[in-house]
Structure 1
Amino acid sequence: MAARFEVRHQPAKGYHFVLIATNGQVIATSEHYETHRACLNGIDSVKRNADAPVHDVTPGSGKES
């Protein structure tokens, strides 16, 4: 089974998505969106931009800004 996106709804908070790995573990959680369509657009954005470099700004990484 491939990783999957799951759209969830919470009353008074709106919609968000989680990315679930092949082992069933949640590996990413989105911000909350007001509409279902905005949430789906967020998923599309992640799919388009997922091939991105890592920018580590944690202390000691040597990459702090």
Structure 2
Amino acid sequence: MFELKKSGDKFHFTLKAANGQVILSSQMYATKASAMNGIESVQKNCGKDESFEMKTAKNGKIHFNIKASNGQIIGSSQMYAAESGAKNGIESVRKNAPGASVKEVE
């Protein structure tokens, strides 16, 4: 499920797995409509290998970004201790995002 939240005058979303764990967090968007476009972009691009980019942070932890076809980052994962965790996160996005509902939360 995607959760769409308003923070101040901006919007952002998270993608959650069935167990409630956050898989992916978005950037901040100026409007609700642009955040909804971001959700649609995740759903559209999550099946493409080239949409995912794994990175290693300075502390050695690994995370991934999902990018739109224009190269802009749509969302980022949490930090994982190992590459295998990040790969599992990517698979979770692929499994959960396409048919996920959108819930607005306070």
Normalized per residue, the structure richer in helix is: 2
SS at match of 1:22: coil
Please list every run of 5 or more consecutive structure 1 residues that lacks an aligned counterpart in the other structure: 60-65
CA distance change for structure 1 residues 15 and 55 in 2, over 3 Å: closer, same or farther?
closer
TM-score, length-normalised on structure 1?
A: 0.74
1:48 equivalent in alignment to 2:44: yes
Normalized per residue, the structure richer in strand is: 2
Please list every run of 5 or more consecutive structure 2 residues that lacks an aligned counterpart in the other structure: 61-106
Larger Rg: 1
Separation in 2, partners of 1:44, 1:23: 22
TM-fit CA distance, 1:57: 4.9
1:26 equivalent in alignment to 2:17: no
TM-score, length-normalised on structure 2?
A: 0.47
Identity of aligned pairs, percent? 38
User: Deviation above 4 Å: which 4+ runs of structure 1?
Assistant: none
Separation in 1, partners of 2:53, 2:11: 27
What's the Cα RMSD here? 2.0
